Amino acid sequence: MSADRPDRPGVAALVAELEVRRHARTALAVGVGFAAVVFLLFAYLPGTDESLAFWAGLSFVLAFSVFGLVATVLVGIAAYRRTLEVRGREPGRRSPSTLAIVFGLLGWVLVPVVATLAVDVPSPEFRLAIALLSSGFVALTVGGIGVRAVGALTLEHVWRPPEALVGAVVYTTVVAAPAVGCPSGGICLGTPDSLVAATVGLQASAAPPAYAVVALGGGAVIGLGLGLRGASPPHGFFAGAVAALSVLPIVAAASGEPDVVRSTALYLPVVLGGVAAVGNAAGIAASRSLSGD
C-alpha cells in the first residue's frame, strides 16, 4: 500500500460483519436458478424461432440482474438488523412484513406464469380475475416493503397487532365505503383507482376532492390515533397497505381493466400507507409533547 492510500480494515470488517460473501453466494444461486427456470419454460421446452445462444445471452443478463437485486436486499436486511443490535434492540428472526414480502413475491411471479401456461386464449373475464389475484400479491409485496422501510427509518421494532389490525379495519372502511355505489353507477364520491390517478399522476380531475379528503384525510386521522396510543409509524403504513389490498375488488368491478387493477395495486399501498404513517408519526410527537418528554 502507498502512503496516501492506506489499508482500510474497517471495510473488510464491515464486509465480514454483514456476511457479504455468504449473501453473494446465495444471490448467485437464486439468480442462476431463476434464469434457468425461465430458459427452460419459455425457450427450451416450447421451442423458439430464435437461437438458443440468443436465449442463453438473455438468461445471463437475467441471472446477473436477479443476483444484484437479491444480494442488495440480503445485505440491506443484514445492515438493518445490525443497526438494531447496535441500538440495543432485538431484531428477531422474522416478522409479518418479511413473510408478506416473501409470500407476495412468490404469488406475484407464479400466478401469471401458471395462468399463461394453463390457458392458451384467456377470456377478458379470466384476464381480469388473474390480474386481480396477482395484484393482491403485488399490494402485499409493496405493503410489506413499505412497512419494513418505515420501520428502518424509525428504528422501531415493537409490533402491536391489536392496534395495527384495528387501524387496518377502520381505514379499509374509510376508503371503501364512499366507493361502494360506483360499480353499479350509483351516487358515490369516487373509487380508489381514481385516487391513485389523482395523487400519482397529478390529475386533479381524476378523483372528486371529497373522496380525496375522506380517504387521505381519514388515513391521517387514523394514523394520528394510532400514534396517540403509542403505536409506531409502521402500524400506520400497515393499515394503509391492508386498506389498499382490501379495496382491489372494488377497483376491478368499477373499471373492468386489468391494467387499472395492477397499477392501483402498485401505487395505492404507498399512497394510503404513506399518509397513515405520517399521521402516525404526528401522533407520537403529540403524545410525547403532552407527556412532557
Chain centre to alpha carbon of residue 291? 34
Could you tell me the pLDDT band of residue 90, with boundaries at 50, 70 and 90?
Answer: low
Mean pLDDT, residues 35-57 taken together: 75
For the chain, give the percent of residues with pLDDT over 70: 88
Q: How far apart are CA 202 and CA 271, in angstroms?
A: 13
Using 50, 70 and 90 to split pLDDT, how confident is the model at 242? very high
C-alpha cell at 183: 360499480
DSSP 41: I
- DSSP reduced 3-state for 4: coil
What pLDDT, on the 0 to 100 scale, is given for residue 1? 47
For residue 88, pLDDT beyond 80: no
Question: At 104, which amino acid appears?
Answer: G
Q: Please give the mean pLDDT across all residues of the chain.
A: 84
Could you give the dihedral angle defined by the CA atoms of residues 71, 73, 74 and 77, in that order, rounded to the nearest 10 degrees?
150
- Whole-number pLDDT of residue 240: 96
Q: Which residues does 186 contact at the CB level (< 8 Å), separation at least 6?
A: none
Q: Are 242 and 268 contacting, i.e. CB atoms less than 8 angstroms apart?
A: no
Q: Is the pLDDT of residue 190 over 90?
A: no
- Chain-centre distance for alpha carbon 183: 26
